[in-house]
């Protein structure tokens, strides 16, 4: 593609174009190390490092043109822009010929539930005989091929490239607030924009919860003309978003507990699996959903309403929900030979912990134990609330290491001790070594107990383990195998 073709799409982000050569571009890169002859290099002012420092390297590697924010004279055509991240999205979309226009694209934002709702939607769509790509925290899946994720929402370049490879009719993608602030979905066009909920999280990145909410609303700047929103109005943020979207004249379909909503949830019965009714258009649909917990009722309801709007029949959706296999690392159960149940769950907010502990209680557990920790520098303000939730709803809990992420073992150990003393209500203790904490729980597990281990799904990049496994689930499976072996040998 010619450089001028890309330039046409930069719109108001273009500041200055300093060369009238028009090279044919063979690719786009934002990392100088990946530049091949004929590529367009986009220099990003990063959080860690300034990409403009690598322009010479990019040119030495054969860059045919460069986009950047600084005032520069270069030996190749240089396009100066106001914001390189924004320009990157637009340029990548142009280069890959606007791939999102060829698919029905569903963006999902919110604090919790994005991964779960995306998996439920993919399952429903496939049940209805349709194909669906998925981009999110656990994996990127395109044409049934699984790629290891770099982020919850990939960078703009990767999004456009992956979607351009997709032969699937639908694309479901998780849209994080980080991604929205960093223009990672610039150049993407959405058919449906889903909002799950908002709660205390990522306040290390967003100065206030208002800023966090505002970032979430940015997703709706990327709707196709005929696009619509599906909003959970089970909380105040959903109500606020509803007003904002109506002011923008974006059609909103909502879920809630009242008849004013397009989908009304009622008659919830939680006992391991979830049974509940959905009222839509004067018809009641009784549903069974195998993933435990009230939060999963909400997730299933969001997916139900979205699927109906897509045009899938409620009968097909009902059947699909009943056979939903669950999401890796979300309330995954591992049975203990003595009759206890271990659960691995990715809960890392106060709300998520409460939903999970409530779901364990629904099973009439003899005792509910909880093992969890905190990520290093991230979100220090939410730790107190997570401990309070656990102290209020579990019978006992263990604080342990999670990702240390920027702080030392000693600092984290002291923090766990101090937080436990202040907010643990004498129910907590600290075992810093996570593997040891899990092993200790495994060895002491008794019939009827539920032991919830939260904070880590299967995502490898979250791992802080050295040995012998890379996730909480693998640790449990390893202990189980070890115990079975010991039994055989004994």
Ligand X SMILES: Nc1ncnc2c1ncn2[C@@H]1O[C@H](COP(=O)(O)OP(=O)(O)OP(=O)(O)O)[C@@H](O)[C@H]1O
- Pick from 39, 54, 355, 430: which binds ligand UAG (CB under 6 A)? 54
What is the dihedral sign for C-alpha 186, 54, 23, 37? negative
- Pick from 153, 291, 296, 306: which binds ligand UAG (CB under 6 A)? 153
Site track 106-145 with ligand UAG (rule: CB under 6 A), x = hit: ----------------------------------------
- Pick from 182, 228, 398, 400: which binds ligand UAG (CB under 6 A)? 182
Name the region of 4 (left: φ>0; alpha: ψ -120 to 50; beta: rest): alpha
Neighbours of 478 (CB within 10 A): 16
Q: Where are the beta strands (DSSP E) in 143-251?
A: 145-147, 170-174, 190-195, 223-232
Identify which of residues 152 and 274 has a Cβ nearer to ligand UAG in the complex. Answer: 152
Give the shortest CB-485-to-ligand UAG separation in angstroms: 37
Residue 323 annotated as part of some ligand binding site: no
Question: Does 352 sit near ligand X (CB under 6 A)?
Answer: yes
The C-alpha angle 173, 48, 203, rounded to 5 degrees, equals 60
What is the enclosing helix (H) or strand (E) of 124? Answer: helix 114-127
Q: What are phi and psi of 28, to 5 degrees?
A: -130, 140
User: Residue 135: which of 193, 98, 176 has the closest Cα?
Assistant: 176
CA distance linking residue 405 with residue 408, whole number of Å: 8
What is the dihedral sign for C-alpha 420, 421, 422, 425? positive
- Are the C-beta atoms of 108 and 173 separated by less than 8 Å? yes
Local structure of residue 23 (DSSP, 8 states): P
Residue 346 site contact among ligand X, ligand UAG, none (CB < 5 to 8 Å, cut-off depends on kind): ligand X
Question: Does 177 sit near ligand X (CB under 6 A)?
Answer: no
What residue has token string 């436990």? Answer: 420
Identify which of residues 51 and 329 has a Cβ nearer to ligand X in the complex. Answer: 329
Question: Does 233 sit near ligand UAG (CB under 6 A)?
Answer: no
Residue 299 site contact among ligand X, ligand UAG, none (CB < 5 to 8 Å, cut-off depends on kind): ligand X
Per CB under 6 A, the segment of 80-88, 274-282, 291-299, 362-370 that binds ligand X is 291-299
Residue 182 annotated as part of some ligand binding site: yes
- Token pair, residue 268, equals 């919830």
* 140-142 and 145-147 beta bridge pairing: antiparallel
Identify which of residues 25 and 108 has a Cβ nearer to ligand X in the complex. Answer: 108
- Pick from 80, 93, 116, 471: which binds ligand X (CB under 6 A)? 116
Give how far Cα 49 sits from Cα of 46, 52, 287, 312, Å: 5, 9, 51, 47
Residue 152 annotated as part of some ligand binding site: yes
Identify which of residues 264 and 295 has a Cβ nearer to ligand X in the complex. Answer: 295
Question: Does 383 sit near ligand X (CB under 6 A)?
Answer: no
Query: What proportions of the chain, in percent to the nearest 5, are helix, strand and coil?
Result: 40, 25, 35
- Pick from 12, 20, 47, 283: which binds ligand UAG (CB under 6 A)? 47
Question: Does 155 sit near ligand UAG (CB under 6 A)?
Answer: yes
3-state secondary structure of 426: coil
Site track 94-113 with ligand X (rule: CB under 6 A), x = hit: ----------------x-xx
Q: Which residues bind ligand X (CB under 6 A)?
A: 110, 112-116, 137, 152, 174, 176, 196-197, 295, 298-299, 330, 345-347, 351-352, 355-356
Annotated binding site: 32, 110-116, 151-153, 176, 182, 184
Q: Which residues bind ligand UAG (CB under 6 A)?
A: 30-33, 44, 46-49, 51, 54, 150-153, 155, 176, 178-179, 182, 184
């Amino acid at each position: 593609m010619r450089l001028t073709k890309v330039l046409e799409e930069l719109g108001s982000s273009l500041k200055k174009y300093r060369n009238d050569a028009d090279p044919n571009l063979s690719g786009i890169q934002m990392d100088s190390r990946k530049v091949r002859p004929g590529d367009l290099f986009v220099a990003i002012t990063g959080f860690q490092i300034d990409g403009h420092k690598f322009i010479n390297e990019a040119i030495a590697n054969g860059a045919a043109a460069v986009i950047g924010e600084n005032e520069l004279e270069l030996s190749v055509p240089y396009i100066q822009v106001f914001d390189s991240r924004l320009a990157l999205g637009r340029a990548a979309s142009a280069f890959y010929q606007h791939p999102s226009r060829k698919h029905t694209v569903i963006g999902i934002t919110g604090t919790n539930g994005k991964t779960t709702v995306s998996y439920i939607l993919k399952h429903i769509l496939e049940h209805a005989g349709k194909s669906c790509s998925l981009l999110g925290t656990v994996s990127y899946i395109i044409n049934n091929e699984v790629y290891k994720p770099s982020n919850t929402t990939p960078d703009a370049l990767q999004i456009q490239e992956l979607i351009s490879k997709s032969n699937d009719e639908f694309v479901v993608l998780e849209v994080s607030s980080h991604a929205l602030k960093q223009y990672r979905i610039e150049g993407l066009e959405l058919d449906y924009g889903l909002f799950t909920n908002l709660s205390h999280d990522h306040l290390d990145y967003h100065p206030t919860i208002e800023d966090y909410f505002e970032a979430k609303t940015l997703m709706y700047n990327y709707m196709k003309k005929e696009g619509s929103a599906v909003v959970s109005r089970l909380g105040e943020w959903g109500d606020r978003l509803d007003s904002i979207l109506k002011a923008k004249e974006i059609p909103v379909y909502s879920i809630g507990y009242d008849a004013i909503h397009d989908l009304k949830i009622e008659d919830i019965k939680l006992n391991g699996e979830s049974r509940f009714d959905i009222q839509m258009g004067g018809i009641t649909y009784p549903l069974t959903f195998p993933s435990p917990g009230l939060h999963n009722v909400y997730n299933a309801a969001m997916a139900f309403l979205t699927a109906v709007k897509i045009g899938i029949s409620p009968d097909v959706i009902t059947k699909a929900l009943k056979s939903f296999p669950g999401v890796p690392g979300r309330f995954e159960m591992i049975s203990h030979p003595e009759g206890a149940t271990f659960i691995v769950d990715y809960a890392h907010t106060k709300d998520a912990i409460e939903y999970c502990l409530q779901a364990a209680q629904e099973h009439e557990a003899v005792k509910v134990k909880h093992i969890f920790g905190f990520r290093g520098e991230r979100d220090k303000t939410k730790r107190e609330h997570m401990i309070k939730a656990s102290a209020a709803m579990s019978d006992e809990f263990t604080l342990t290491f999670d990702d240390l992420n920027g702080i030392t073992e000693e600092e984290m150990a002291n923090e766990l001790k101090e937080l436990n003393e202040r907010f643990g209500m004498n129910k907590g203790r600290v075992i810093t070594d996570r593997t040891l904490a899990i092993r200790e729980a495994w060895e002491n597990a008794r019939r009827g107990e539920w032991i919830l281990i939260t904070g880590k799904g299967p995502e490898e990049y979250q791992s802080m383990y050295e040995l012998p496994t890379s996730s909480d689930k693998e640790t449990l499976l390893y202990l189980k195998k070890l115990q079975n072996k010991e039994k055989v040998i004994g």
